Structure 1
Amino acid sequence: MPIIHASEAPTFDMPNATFTGLAAPSRGAKETCVWKTRVHPGAQPALHSFDHEEVLVAVSGAAVAVLDGVEHQVTAGDAIIVPAGTEFGLGNPHDEPFEAVVALPVGAMAFMNGQSLVPPPAK
């Protein structure tokens, strides 16, 4: 059973968030990808969708989850279940970072800005 130590987990920076790859095929996972998302204070939602269900569990802070254009307040301890094909994004209008753990099936494709891709933390 592979152990992914936080100190060795790869990070991926985007303008509004940082992603820390935990479980993925490149790190031994066969069926499920898991990563930590840290949404920076003041971040606007980066709208995207997946061809599979995405599940997020809020770990700390607060955010605004946008699902198919509808805004929902999210705080630590909440879970977000995003059905396949649903346009989704997280914004953070607060002064503190928002962190969540995300799970997605291996091989799921993301769609964003007219492009399809496997998100870097899921590789």
Structure 2
Amino acid sequence: MPVIRSSDAVTHEIHGARFVSYATPLAGSKELCAWRGEIPPRTKAPAHTVTREEIFHLLIGELVITLDGRTDRVLAGDTVIINPGSTLAVENPTDRTAISWVTTSIGLEAELADGTRIVPPWAN
């Protein structure tokens, strides 16, 4: 039984946020990836279009999420379903770090508005 201890999780940082990776192919996962996101206060991540479905669950805090042009305030306990091809922007307008849990299938990529493609190691 693969058990990923918190001390074994791998941390990545991009656009001011931290992604603490638990389930990846390197950790033994065959189909899914999962990570904890840490979005610091007053952080606004750039909009990006995803290639795979993501399930985004907010554990702690409050965020403003824009998905395909629709903006919603998301509170701890809320879940956002992000379909493939959707464009997502995440903002933490508060003074406290927001913590999320995200699950997707292996192979997720994201494209920024300028055409830059990101292959996040926490989802591949």
1:19 alignment partner AA:
F
TM-score, normalised relative to structure 1? 0.93
How many Å separate the matches in 1 of 2:44 and 2:71? 12
1:86 alignment partner AA:
S
2:88 alignment partner AA:
F
1:89 maps to what in 2?
89
SS of the aligned residue for 2:95 comes to coil
Count of residue pairs the alignment pairs up = 123
SS of the aligned residue for 2:58 comes to strand
Q: Contact (CA 8 Å) 1:32, 1:103: kept in 2 or not? A: yes
TM-score, normalised relative to structure 2? 0.93
Contiguous gaps of at least 5 residues in structure 1: none
Greater percentage in strand: 2
Q: How far apart are residue 89 of structure 1 and its match? A: 1.6
> Which segments of structure 1 move beyond 6 Å, counting only runs of 4 or more?
none
Superposed, 1:1-123 pairs within 5 Å as: 1-112=1-112, 113-123=114-124
Cα shift readout 1:2-52 (whole Å, capped 9, x = no counterpart): 111111101011242100001000110000000111111001132112112
Sequence identity (%): 33
1:114 alignment partner AA:
G
